[in-house]
Amino acid sequence: MEEILNIVNENDEIIGQETRKNIHRQGLLHREIHVYFITPNKEIIFQRRLKDKDTFPDLLDATVGGHVDLNESYENAVVREVEEETGLKVDVKDLVPIHKVHTHVADQVTGKTNNAFQSEFYYLYQGDISALRTEEGASAGFEVWPLAKLLAADENGQKRFIPYIFNFAVTKLSEMINDQNL
Protein backbone atom coordinates (compact mmCIF):
# COMPACT_ATOMS: atom_id res chain seq x y z
CA MET A 1 0.00 0.00 0.00
CA GLU A 2 1.40 3.36 -1.01
CA GLU A 3 1.78 6.10 1.58
CA ILE A 4 -0.82 8.86 1.08
CA LEU A 5 -0.01 12.38 2.29
CA ASN A 6 -1.79 15.71 2.48
CA ILE A 7 -1.06 18.31 -0.19
CA VAL A 8 -1.09 21.87 1.17
CA ASN A 9 -1.24 25.36 -0.30
CA GLU A 10 1.12 28.29 0.33
CA ASN A 11 -0.79 29.02 3.57
CA ASP A 12 -0.13 25.45 4.80
CA GLU A 13 -3.82 24.58 4.44
CA ILE A 14 -4.75 21.07 3.31
CA ILE A 15 -6.08 21.10 -0.26
CA GLY A 16 -5.87 17.45 -1.26
CA GLN A 17 -4.11 14.12 -0.99
CA GLU A 18 -1.65 12.24 -3.13
CA THR A 19 0.83 9.38 -2.92
CA ARG A 20 4.26 10.14 -1.55
CA LYS A 21 5.74 8.94 -4.84
CA ASN A 22 3.67 11.41 -6.89
CA ILE A 23 4.26 14.23 -4.41
CA HIS A 24 8.02 13.94 -4.91
CA ARG A 25 7.76 13.25 -8.64
CA GLN A 26 5.55 16.32 -9.23
CA GLY A 27 7.09 18.55 -6.54
CA LEU A 28 3.77 19.02 -4.72
CA LEU A 29 3.77 21.05 -1.52
CA HIS A 30 3.36 18.86 1.59
CA ARG A 31 4.31 18.72 5.30
CA GLU A 32 7.41 17.32 6.98
CA ILE A 33 9.24 17.49 10.30
CA HIS A 34 12.94 17.53 11.20
CA VAL A 35 14.55 17.05 14.60
CA TYR A 36 18.22 17.69 15.28
CA PHE A 37 19.73 15.92 18.29
CA ILE A 38 22.39 18.12 19.87
CA THR A 39 24.71 16.86 22.60
CA PRO A 40 25.98 18.89 25.57
CA ASN A 41 29.42 18.77 23.85
CA LYS A 42 28.16 20.84 20.89
CA GLU A 43 27.82 17.87 18.58
CA ILE A 44 25.02 17.25 16.12
CA ILE A 45 23.83 13.75 15.38
CA PHE A 46 22.93 13.18 11.73
CA GLN A 47 21.15 10.20 10.18
CA ARG A 48 22.49 8.58 7.02
CA ARG A 49 19.80 7.89 4.44
CA LEU A 50 19.67 4.51 2.74
CA LYS A 51 21.11 4.17 -0.75
CA ASP A 52 17.68 3.35 -2.20
CA LYS A 53 15.76 6.39 -0.88
CA ASP A 54 13.70 8.22 -3.50
CA THR A 55 15.29 11.56 -2.64
CA PHE A 56 18.86 12.29 -1.53
CA PRO A 57 20.02 8.67 -1.24
CA ASP A 58 23.04 7.87 0.95
CA LEU A 59 23.38 11.42 2.29
CA LEU A 60 23.39 12.75 5.85
CA ASP A 61 20.08 14.17 7.01
CA ALA A 62 18.57 15.59 10.20
CA THR A 63 18.65 13.15 13.13
CA VAL A 64 14.95 12.53 12.55
CA GLY A 65 12.92 13.47 9.52
CA GLY A 66 9.61 12.43 8.19
CA HIS A 67 6.31 13.25 6.66
CA VAL A 68 3.30 14.45 8.57
CA ASP A 69 0.65 11.75 8.10
CA LEU A 70 -2.88 12.42 6.88
CA ASN A 71 -4.70 14.75 9.28
CA GLU A 72 -1.82 14.58 11.79
CA SER A 73 -0.39 17.66 13.53
CA TYR A 74 3.28 18.60 13.24
CA GLU A 75 3.62 17.97 16.99
CA ASN A 76 2.17 14.46 16.84
CA ALA A 77 4.31 13.68 13.80
CA VAL A 78 7.51 14.75 15.53
CA VAL A 79 6.86 12.57 18.59
CA ARG A 80 5.93 9.59 16.39
CA GLU A 81 8.92 10.01 14.08
CA VAL A 82 11.43 10.36 16.95
CA GLU A 83 10.26 7.04 18.36
CA GLU A 84 10.19 5.31 14.96
CA GLU A 85 13.62 6.53 13.88
CA THR A 86 15.58 6.45 17.16
CA GLY A 87 13.62 4.24 19.55
CA LEU A 88 13.30 7.12 22.04
CA LYS A 89 9.98 8.12 23.56
CA VAL A 90 9.93 11.90 23.96
CA ASP A 91 7.33 14.41 25.01
CA VAL A 92 6.76 17.28 22.61
CA LYS A 93 7.58 19.70 25.46
CA ASP A 94 11.15 18.28 25.48
CA LEU A 95 11.64 19.43 21.90
CA VAL A 96 12.59 23.03 21.19
CA PRO A 97 10.86 24.52 18.13
CA ILE A 98 13.26 26.23 15.74
CA HIS A 99 10.94 27.37 12.96
CA LYS A 100 8.65 26.28 10.18
CA VAL A 101 10.10 26.93 6.76
CA HIS A 102 9.06 26.33 3.17
CA THR A 103 11.79 24.46 1.31
CA HIS A 104 11.87 23.63 -2.38
CA VAL A 105 14.84 21.45 -3.22
CA ALA A 106 15.51 19.45 -6.38
CA ASP A 107 17.53 16.26 -6.04
CA GLN A 108 20.01 16.29 -8.92
CA VAL A 109 20.65 12.54 -8.57
CA THR A 110 17.07 11.21 -8.65
CA GLY A 111 15.30 14.09 -10.44
CA LYS A 112 12.72 14.27 -7.63
CA THR A 113 11.69 17.49 -5.89
CA ASN A 114 11.06 17.95 -2.20
CA ASN A 115 8.67 20.88 -1.83
CA ALA A 116 7.58 21.03 1.79
CA PHE A 117 6.70 23.02 4.84
CA GLN A 118 9.20 21.71 7.37
CA SER A 119 8.61 22.21 11.06
CA GLU A 120 12.04 21.96 12.66
CA PHE A 121 13.00 21.23 16.26
CA TYR A 122 16.06 20.41 18.28
CA TYR A 123 16.43 18.04 21.18
CA LEU A 124 19.19 18.07 23.78
CA TYR A 125 20.36 14.46 23.68
CA GLN A 126 22.45 13.36 26.65
CA GLY A 127 22.78 9.68 25.82
CA ASP A 128 25.30 7.73 23.81
CA ILE A 129 24.83 7.37 20.06
CA SER A 130 24.94 3.58 20.48
CA ALA A 131 21.63 3.80 22.39
CA LEU A 132 19.85 5.13 19.30
CA ARG A 133 18.02 2.46 17.34
CA THR A 134 17.78 2.86 13.59
CA GLU A 135 14.48 2.23 11.89
CA GLU A 136 14.79 -1.02 9.97
CA GLY A 137 14.67 -0.47 6.24
CA ALA A 138 14.73 3.32 6.60
CA SER A 139 18.18 4.33 7.89
CA ALA A 140 21.82 3.43 7.44
CA GLY A 141 22.75 4.67 10.93
CA PHE A 142 23.84 7.81 12.72
CA GLU A 143 26.97 9.98 12.69
CA VAL A 144 28.08 12.46 15.34
CA TRP A 145 29.65 15.67 14.05
CA PRO A 146 31.27 18.12 16.47
CA LEU A 147 30.21 21.64 15.57
CA ALA A 148 33.83 22.68 14.89
CA LYS A 149 34.26 19.80 12.39
CA LEU A 150 31.02 20.70 10.67
CA LEU A 151 31.99 24.37 10.35
CA ALA A 152 35.41 23.38 8.94
CA ALA A 153 34.05 20.81 6.46
CA ASP A 154 35.75 20.94 3.08
CA GLU A 155 33.93 20.36 -0.21
CA ASN A 156 34.09 16.57 0.16
CA GLY A 157 32.69 16.76 3.68
CA GLN A 158 29.88 19.03 2.53
CA LYS A 159 28.95 16.63 -0.28
CA ARG A 160 28.12 13.98 2.33
CA PHE A 161 25.03 15.99 3.34
CA ILE A 162 21.73 16.92 1.79
CA PRO A 163 22.65 20.50 0.76
CA TYR A 164 19.78 22.12 2.69
CA ILE A 165 20.67 20.18 5.85
CA PHE A 166 24.33 21.19 5.69
CA ASN A 167 23.52 24.85 5.06
CA PHE A 168 20.97 24.92 7.88
CA ALA A 169 23.38 23.21 10.30
CA VAL A 170 26.28 25.60 9.67
CA THR A 171 24.13 28.73 9.83
CA LYS A 172 20.96 28.75 11.93
CA LEU A 173 21.64 25.61 13.98
CA SER A 174 25.27 26.46 14.80
CA GLU A 175 24.21 29.97 15.79
CA MET A 176 21.55 28.56 18.13
CA ILE A 177 24.05 26.13 19.70
CA ASN A 178 26.51 28.94 20.38
CA ASP A 179 23.87 31.41 21.58
CA GLN A 180 22.34 28.95 24.01
CA ASN A 181 25.70 27.69 25.31
CA LEU A 182 24.77 24.05 24.75
> Which residues are within 8 A (CB) of 13 and not within 5 positions of it... i.e. 6 or more apart?
none
Residue 96: per-residue pLDDT: 94
Residue 46 has pLDDT above 80, yes or no: yes
CA atoms within 13 A on the CB side of 87: 13
Q: Average pLDDT in the 139-160 region?
A: 96
Q: What percentage of residues in the chain have a pLDDT greater than 90?
A: 82
Q: Which residues of 74-91 are buried (b: 16+ CB within 10 A; e: fewer)?
A: bbebbbbbbeebbebebe
What is the DSSP pairing of strand 4-8 with strand 60-61?
Answer: unpaired
In the DSSP assignment, the letter for residue 145 is: E
Residue 143: per-residue pLDDT: 97
Number of domains in the chain: 1
Residue 154 has pLDDT above 80, yes or no: yes
* Nearest-5° Cα angle at 156, 150 to 159: 80
In the DSSP assignment, the letter for residue 39 is: -
Q: What are phi and psi of 85, to 5 degrees?
A: -95, -15
Nearest to 85 by CA among 138, 33, 49, 45: 138
What mean pLDDT value characterizes the chain?
94
* Domain of residue 71, CATH code: 3.90.79.10
Residue 178: per-residue pLDDT: 84
The pLDDT-based confidence of 65 (bands split at 50, 70, 90) is: very high
Model's pTM, two decimal places? 0.93
Q: Say if CB 86 and CB 175 are below 8 A apart.
A: no
The pLDDT-based confidence of 179 (bands split at 50, 70, 90) is: confident
Structural domain boundaries enclosing 13: 4-179
Q: What is the 3-state secondary structure (H, E, C) of 61-126?
A: ECCEEEECECCCCHHHHHHHHHHHHHCCCCCHHHCEEEEEEEEEEECCCCCCEEEEEEEEEEEECC
User: How many angstroms separate the most distant Cα atoms in the chain?
Assistant: 45
* Nearest-5° Cα angle at 54, 48 to 60: 20
pLDDT tens track for 88-105: 999 999 999 999 999 998
pLDDT tens track for 118-144: 999 999 999 999 999 998 888 999 999
What is the dihedral angle through the alpha carbons of 83, 88, 92, 97, rounded to the nearest 10 degrees?
-90
Residue 53: per-residue pLDDT: 86
The pLDDT-based confidence of 54 (bands split at 50, 70, 90) is: confident
The pLDDT-based confidence of 181 (bands split at 50, 70, 90) is: low
